[in-house]
Structure 1
Amino acid sequence: MSGSLEGLLIADFGRVLAGPYATMLLADLGADVVKIERPGSGDDTRRWGPPWVGDESTYFRSVNRNKRSFAWDLRDPDHLEQVRELVTRADVVVENFLPGTMDRFGLGYDTVRELNPGIVYCSVTGFGGQNHLPGYDLLIQAVGGLMSITGPDPQTPTKVGVAMVDVVTGLHAAVGILAALRHRDRTGEGQCVEVNLLSSLLSALVNQTSGYVGAGVIPQAMGNKHPSVAPYEVFQTGDKPLVLAVGNDRQFASLVKVLGIPELAQDERYETNDRRVAHREQLVEDLTEALSTDTADAWFDRLTAEGVACGPLNDIADAVALAERLGLEPVVEIDDSNRAEPVRQVANPIRFSVTPATYRSAPPRLGEHTPPERPGRGRSV
């Protein structure tokens, strides 16, 4: 079955995470992604381990399936000629170099669009194309405010446990590329799509950024508490922690009924969400006392049956197992003749009724698909 983006050619200069994540999502949907890597070293994440599978970094594997790897050095005139030939034929170019790098090689947007007027050219930067500043996820989490609202308290700023800013930026890049392709389908006109890590983070902070922009409230770290909803945090039960995520008054009434304290639904301190937030500390004490009388699993069964959102604190293995039990098929295996065993990957999360994501090839070895030399003319694409 063909993917929805079959026939689309993407020249991928992305490295590390944001750019490669965006292009892998598009590759899963059928696009032909040619990953341009420096000979000898390639994408930095090829060396980001442990964990390793043999000599391969699981980090690199996580964002580079369904791609062809061409080991071409942009400083080599013969290689650069072939790169220009590729971008002339491509539908999309994705790059996340420091601003100005692609221009130095004659591959900036203004130059490429003269060769290929219909090109959709996506540039991913840390702080916008006019600012020549390097951008790494940890740095953006710090300067973009995410660490200030993450952690147990305002005195302990903490990074999120995954490069979430890169992931969100990659998603924004993919959306921008698809929107630009839709415009090109209608008009024949290409365009430049720019995304940056800082702007993506400020957008992804949603209610927290909005609270400052709209009301002048600067949020602070609250541990596992929610600034606007209660009860919405981690509670100790008779044996282990349990998350409660109660989003409205009806759910709260169901919660306290199951816990055997239905009178709390009529308590003036707790009858509405804003009052529960105002009296959060006492509410936590009351609920913890009730939850301590049984195990987390027992409460999970009883509360879920009544429509109350709750769940245990899983590790990644538990989370994958849960997805499997729910029939979500979170893991796929890709056969590869160059490897002794199938490559296990996290599945694309998007489900299509007609053009599903496909898993055509494993993450490539460095330069695995580089075209052979053409005597006197460099390499053929």
Structure 2
Amino acid sequence: MKFTCLQENLNFGLQATGHLVNKNINLPILNNVLLEANSSGVKLSSTNLEIGISCHVRCKVDVEGAFTADARLLSEYISLLPNDQVNLELAKDDFLKVACRSSETKIKGIVSDDFPVIPKIERTSSYKINIKDFKKALAQVVFAVANSESRPEISGVLMSFNKIKPGMVHLVGTDSYRLTEKALAISDNKEERDVIVPVKSLQEVLRVLGLVKEQENQIDALQIFVSDNQILFSCDGIELISRLIEGQFPDYKQIIPTETRTQVVVATSELVKSIKAVALFSKLGIFDVNLKFNSAKGLIIEATNSQLGESKSEMAVAFAGEDNETTLNYRYLLDGLNNISAEEVELSLVDGNVPFLVRPKGDDSYTYIVMPIKQ
């Protein structure tokens, strides 16, 4: 194997694939990145047996072949080289020779025969999603997903394609204390499908999409292929494949309130500041703040701690409905508010025993609900 590549291109490929690698004592080859050189260029691949990532890099290939080298070592070394031509060549005794200008290095590797086979998926038709929109949607959902081994079905994000509404995918995450749902447009595939994708896989998708440069005058689309037990995300020469979680996602629609008795509209940034200030006096371990909705005074946020004191903040709001109140975990409430970019939010409430609903003003595509703390 022998090829020449620009440092910038090779560094990008290693950044995309190398992050997945963790120290694995039982299977040392999982610490490595697979380099496959052929007539179309070089393909870099890594896997942790749950997720597989590959990236195609433009290179001039002199001798075709395959080899694996320590992913982190190779990535860190390449990142420190000047932005110039880098020559990589398989040397004897399982060494990878890396040369750039006056630098020359040999990195010990492992033959590619032992590298795990990354699953392939049938690519009959894909769902297409705008990359920028998908990045924002993932960030608005993944934070609410449970890290639960006992309930694997909520340790991932539900992706519901075309089922709730044709031409839309709904992303849903919950840890049973709060729930978030985001809808966004998809194209090219009308098939209805529900899949649960592990949250770690989607966090890796989010990281990889952050590396992809948003070029002008280019269709900024992510392709998603789905099979019975695998999902593949593909864009700009990078592919990420992950297993799907088996099981049934909870019927979350039944806990989203369909009616409201009290609704207020309030400035997002001011609400966040008031909650943070009052929350300093919430009870340790309970993190409770009391929200009172009063038609005369607006929104009143209160917290009392017998050891620290108490705090109250009144906010002017656009008020509709009846007087009401609820008690919430302020950390959960802030998580939702911090993922809303709108200047104003709508807060909706039936009563203190029913989930509390938060939406960006005038935007039904994002829903965030928090379960109340029952007194």
Same fold (TM over 0.5): no
**Which has a greater percent of helix?**
1
**Which has a greater percent of strand?**
2
TM-score (structure 2 length as normaliser):
0.26
